[in-house]
Amino acid sequence: MSPRRDDPDGALMVRVEARDADALAELYDRHAARLLGLARRILGEGGEAEEVLQEVFLFAWRAAASFDPTRGSVLTWLLIATRSRAIDRVRSRSSSSRPEARRLDDLSLEPAAPVDVEAASAERQWEAVCRSAVGELPGDQRKVLELAYFEGLTQQEIAERTATPLGTVKTRARLGLMKLRERLRPYLGSGSRVS
């Protein structure tokens, strides 16, 4: 069963594309908190995360037609948009001083918790699968993934930060991402590969 089909987000996107502002408001109410959480995680406290959130929803309004349901869920689309905007800002300010920059080491993600998958809604289920997929990764692979995803480091910087040879960083990135893909494949929308 694909959660996408039951997901009200798809219907909302159709309405957003038809310039229905109420639909955008509903989409916002459903996802803004999660997106802001991600933006804050990357950008830290301060107004920038809120600005990113605004940009993302204006982008969703403007570019609703570019959403392709066969490539993943609406939430994934919004998360990717949020992440890329937040990282752009991190990179543009990384040349200047950034005293409030947080190190990943200081705030590790919560470990995976067992979840009653059957009882959960499609979104909760997605979230649970994600958490456990990330939690099951070997620590060193997870670290590489997190440094790239949340801090936007280059492969070279990841190697330096983790005191690991560049080749190992690349291998860990590939293996870690491959594991996530395998676990999330039923949710990723590559139709023919859904098991």
| CB atoms near residue 22 (< 10 Å) | 10
Instruction: Give yes or no for a contact between 112 and 134, defined as CB atoms under 8 angstroms apart.
Output: yes
Query: Which stretches within 20-154 are classed as H helix?
Result: 21-43, 48-62, 74-93, 122-136, 139-151
Binding other proteins by CB under 8 A: which of 14, 25, 104, 115?
25
Instruction: Give yes or no for a contact between 147 and 109, defined as CB atoms under 8 angstroms apart.
Output: no
| Stretch 97-136: interaction string toward other proteins, x if CB under 8 A | ------------xx---------------xx-xxx-xxx-
Based on the shown chain and the rule CB under 8 A, indicate whether residue 40 belongs to the binding site for other proteins. Answer: yes
Binding other proteins by CB under 8 A: which of 13, 53, 74, 122?
53
For residue 76, the minimal CB distance to other proteins (Å) is: 5
Spatial separation of the C-alpha atoms in residues 124 and 116, rounded to whole Å: 10
Instruction: Give yes or no for a contact between 117 and 125, defined as CB atoms under 8 angstroms apart.
Output: yes
**Residue ranges in contact with other proteins by CB under 8 A:** 19, 21, 24-25, 28-29, 32-34, 36-38, 40-41, 49-50, 53-54, 57-58, 61, 71-72, 75-76, 79-80, 83-84, 87, 91, 109-110, 126-127, 129-131, 133-135, 145-146, 148-150, 152-156, 158, 170-171, 173-174, 176-178, 180-181, 183-185, 187-190
